[in-house]
Structure formats: C-alpha cells, structure tokens
Amino acid sequence: MPNREMLLIPGPTPVLDEIYEALSSETYAHTDPRVVKVTLESLEMTRQMFNTDGEVFIVAGSGTLAMEMAIVNTVAPGEKILVLTHGFFGDRFIKLAESFGIAVDSIASPWGQRVDPREVAAKLAGSTYKAVTVTHVDTSTGVQADLDTLVPLVKQHNALFILDGVCATAAAVEDMQHDYGHGAKIDVVLTGSQKAIGVPPGLAIIAFGPQALAARAELKRIPAYYADINNWLPIMKDPSKYFATPAVNMLYAYHRAMQLVLAEGLENRYARHQKLGRAVRAALATYGLVPLAAETVAAPTLTCMQYPEGIVDLEFRKFLAARGVVLAGALASLAGKAFRIGHMGNVTTETLKQAIGLIGEALAAQGRTVDVAAAQAKFSALV
Ligand SMILES: *Cc1c(COP(=O)(O)O)cnc(C)c1O
C-alpha cells in the first residue's frame, strides 16, 4: 500500500496513487510509438513549465546529474565560474566544477540568509566568468534566492545564468523567457523528478536556453559522454532513436505528474506553495520553534526549523517516525539543532495538519508545553 507514511523530508515527496499507477504500467520497448508519444508530450509539458524557446532534456539520473550536465555543456576546463551559495547544495557546484578542472570563485552567505548582491556585483566587476550558478532554493537552509536581483546583475556581465531548481521547480516561477530587465534571462534551469514535481527519484530534467546552447556548440568536444547534450539532442527530437536506454516507466510517471502540474495551473501551484510555506512556519512557530530563514527570504517548498532549548533531535524524529511522520535532520553545523520539513509537490494540507499535530506531541513528549489545537487552527486559517 503506497502512501502509508507522511514523507515530509525535502524530497522525495509523497507520490500520488495515480502516479504510482502510471509508474507500474507495462514496460514497452523504449522505441515503441507509445513510449515515443509519452516522451514527446513530457518534453512539451516541461518546455511549457519553463517557458523556454531552447531545448529540454529528460534523462535517467538524479538532480546531481542535471547539475553536472549544466556545467560540462557550457564551461570548458580552465574557464572560470562563480558559485553563489546559500547552503549545502550551492556548495556542491564548487566540487563538481573542480572535478572537471574548471576554476571556481564562490560567494557564500551565512546559513539562513541570501548572498549579498553588493558582494556579487563586486566579484562580477573584478573578474570574467563564463557562468554563474544559483541555487533557487537551498534544501539545507530553506532560503530562496532573489532572482529579480541576481539575474540582471549576472547578465550585465554576460555570464551564463545557471539555476539549480531541484527544490523549487513546479513550486516557484522559473520562466526562461521572462525578461528581468534589459533582456536578462535565465539560461539554464535544471531539476530532478522527486521534489516539487512529485515523482519518485530517478529523472534529471534540464532546459538550455539559446545562449547556453550556443555555448555548448562553441565547446566542440567536452569531457563527458552520457552527460553530453549533443548525444541527447537527436533523441529528444525523435525518441524512437537510440542513444542510451531511457527510464521508460519513470517517463510514464513523470508524464502523469506533469499533466497534474499543468492541470492545477502553474500560477495556482506557485500560490499554493507560498501559502503552504507560510502556514507551516506560522503553525510551528506557535510551539517555540524558530525558522532558520526569515519570512522575507523563506522558501515555498521546505523549512528548516530550529529547536528550542532542551529538545533532543534524534528522539524527536524517532517519536515522529514511529507515528508515520518522516522529517529530515539538519545538515552541517545545524545538525542536531534543527529539522527540515518539506511542504511541496502533491502533499495535502490534511497530511501537513496531521504532521503539525504530531510534531506538537513530539515536543510535549520532551517536556515542552504546546497547544496542538491552536497550532493546527493557525495552519488551517492560512491555507
Ligand atoms: C536535492 C537537491 C539536489 C540534489 O539532487 P539529487 O537528486 O539528490 O542528486 C541538488 N540541488 C538541490 C537544490 C536539491 O534540493
């Protein structure tokens, strides 16, 4: 029986029965016209979601593969990038790029805050970068990047703007033809299937705008094979051709999930996530938990909540796991001091309300005085 657990980690997220049903449909040949149709429609729906006039790729792999594809297809070894990081996943771009001999400068914010745009402006003025990476929502901190400020800043200097959308896509605006001012646009958006799209883990999804495609063309040979978009381009145009066997059943699931995303409507889905984020944070704050990110920079998809004095993280999460609520621990220096809760994808308000109640009970079990009914009422009033 699927969905017995309240899987509230920041991905994978709860998977709807109808998506599981699609996933378990009969596996046809990857070149079968029925699979070709599902693939082409999936690509089209993805193109719509990102509103791109470039090319979209869906390949078997996790979000990290999509990060790698973004970098190796646009930046050559020896060239330099600027990594803007507000957490663990932003930092991942540093090691990733270095693995390919790419030079890296980075600007890191204190955890829970955004990077300072003045620092970014100074860095961009002082050096030449082929690309700048930005993590839309960093899953370690629950901070959302300010695209309205960063996109124009980066594009002024003609660097490619690469956006890691793994924890934001389908929950926050990622419009690749949106003009952020003087023609500034996002060049690459990458994501994975298992977060706000609501599919099990297994697909890397990435969109390249015209300038990013031109960068790939200029590079000629790159130090990648499976991750080389030139090997995938013919397949995405005609999925009856073969390069490497696609994850047929994952494509069924993704296709169904994307139909649901577009049926809900992108604007509705973004608004729903905004509301969910605010409501979860407000409800949990009544227990004396403190969000790591201020409301002005907080993500719509997940929240990192800091414990009050005296709460033991492992016991707290064990108590909840025994009652079917799975939360994530915090990372790095926050480990033991906070937990992370996802509120994205196809999670229902009913599930979140129940989880908020159980979180109250878990805190009470460690001696904290809480008003569960008041917390749940706060949540319900805001969603
Ligand atoms: C989860 C996540 C990743 C990594 O994705 P995997 O599917 O685990 O490889 C990268 N970036 C962000 C922002 C994420 O949330």
* 276-327 pLDDT per residue, tens: 999 999 999 999 999 999 999 999 999 999 999 999 999 999 999 999 999 9
Percent of the chain with pLDDT over 90: 99
Amino acid 2: pLDDT: 53
Give the model's confidence band at 4: pLDDT under 50 very low, under 70 low, under 90 confident, else very high.
confident
Task: Name residues whose C-beta falls within 8 Å of residue 256's C-beta, 6 or more positions apart in sequence.
Answer: 18, 19, 21, 22
The verdict on domain 266-382 having CATH code 3.40.50.300 is no
* Cα-to-chain-centroid distance, residue 242: 29
Give ranges for CATH 3.40.640.10 in the chain: 17-263
Q: How confident is the model at residue 5 (pLDDT cuts 50, 70, 90)?
A: very high
Nearest to 19 by CA among 165, 262, 245, 200: 200
Q: How far is the CA of 365 from the centre of ligand 1 (A)?
A: 33
Topology of the domain covering 17-263: Aspartate Aminotransferase; domain 2 (3.40.640)
Answer whether 357 contacts ligand 1 (Cβ < 6 A): no
> How far does residue 8's CA lie from ligand 1's centre (Å)?
15
Query: DSSP for 198-252?
Result: ---S-EEEEEE-HHHHHHHHHH-S-S-STT-HHHHHHHHH-TTS-SS---HHHHH
Which pTM value belongs to this model? 0.98
Q: Counting atoms of ligand 1 from 1, which one is nearest the CA of 139?
A: 15
Taking the C-alpha atoms of residue 62 and residue 82, their distance in angstroms, rounded to an integer, is: 23
CA dihedral 278, 376, 13, 172 (to 10 degrees): -20
Binned at pLDDT 50, 70 and 90, residue 3 comes out as low
What separation in Å is there between the alpha carbon of 200 and the centre of ligand 1? 13
> Is pLDDT of 176 > 70?
yes
Residue span(s) of the chain under CATH 3.90.1150.10 come to 266-382
The confidence score (pLDDT) of residue 1 equals: 45
For residues 31-52, give the mean pLDDT: 98
* Helix, strand and coil in the chain, % to nearest 5: 45, 15, 40
What percentage of the chain exceeds 70 in pLDDT?
99
State if residue 64 touches ligand 1 by the CB under 6 angstroms criterion: yes
